[in-house]
Amino acid sequence: MAKRHALVTGAGSGIGKAIALALAANGHSVSLCGRRAAPLEAVRDEIAKAGGEAFVLAGFDVTDAHSVEAGVAKAIAQAGDIAVLVNCAGEAPSAPFDKTDLALWNRVIGINLTGTFLVTQAALASVKRAGKGRIVNVASTAGLTGYAYVSAYCASKHGVVGMTRALALELARTDVTVNAVCPGFTDTPLLDNAVETITGKTGRSTEDARATLARANPQGRLVTPEEVADAVLWLASEKATAITGQAIPVAGGEVLGG
């Protein structure tokens, strides 16, 4: 499935960047989607330096239907139909439930869940045309269980898992598969934000806060973005043709099953 077009949202850093690099290294042309140009351009340059091909789609706001439709259309015009769609854009602010106001709730649901819906709906016809299409949604172990102080995030990721399963069944008689990967605590800028919140509220050191998050993983460590990317790469390959409707934890045994 080399030389096919992959579109990755949230591609400027963390898991999205790792996925984009892995797909490019595997021979895909990659459309890098995000709101800010600079990090996307840095990823593009890294891919180009390694001999790959990538396109920057800055100003790509997953919460805005017009932005999504225009971005997807531009991606198709530049690189052809989208064979692999990876929805990775996300946000994970923390707050106690009784201090989670409607603005925070709507922002998190809008980015994590509605954004995944909008991008998938805009790209789906192209994915079907590409043949052997793959849709991979980056959810979270929060989409399989619950965590305190991130009710909006948990709700959004449970929604992503539910949408993944529903769409997989709708497309089961086509050659398009739809799956989710569910990382546990992963060593990314998003985790750095969580650590900063913990240290700010508790006075604990950065090292102690990171160690606390790592202990949620039975392996006693943080997941790496590259490990999540490897799971996505497999789901995007022909080797995973019979895998659809699954929510696969990448979490060292934190959540068993999916």
User: Known catalytic residues?
Assistant: 153
Q: Which helix (H) or strand (E) holds 165?
A: helix 151-170
- Torsion angle in degrees (nearest 10) through CA of 133, 11, 167, 180: 100
Q: Which helix (H) or strand (E) holds 137?
A: strand 134-138
Cα–Cα distance list, 123 to 128, 183, 204 (Å) = 9, 24, 44
Pairing of strands 82-87, 247-250: unpaired
**What span, in angstroms and rounded, lies between the C-alpha atoms of 82 and 30?**
9
The residue length of the chain stands at 258
Reading across the β-sheet that carries 29-33, which strands appear in turn? Answer: 53-57, 29-33, 5-9, 82-87, 134-138, 177-183, 247-250
**What span, in angstroms and rounded, lies between the C-alpha atoms of 96 and 33?**
31
**What span, in angstroms and rounded, lies between the C-alpha atoms of 97 and 100?**
5
Contact by Cβ (8 Å): 195, 209: yes
Contact by Cβ (8 Å): 208, 142: no
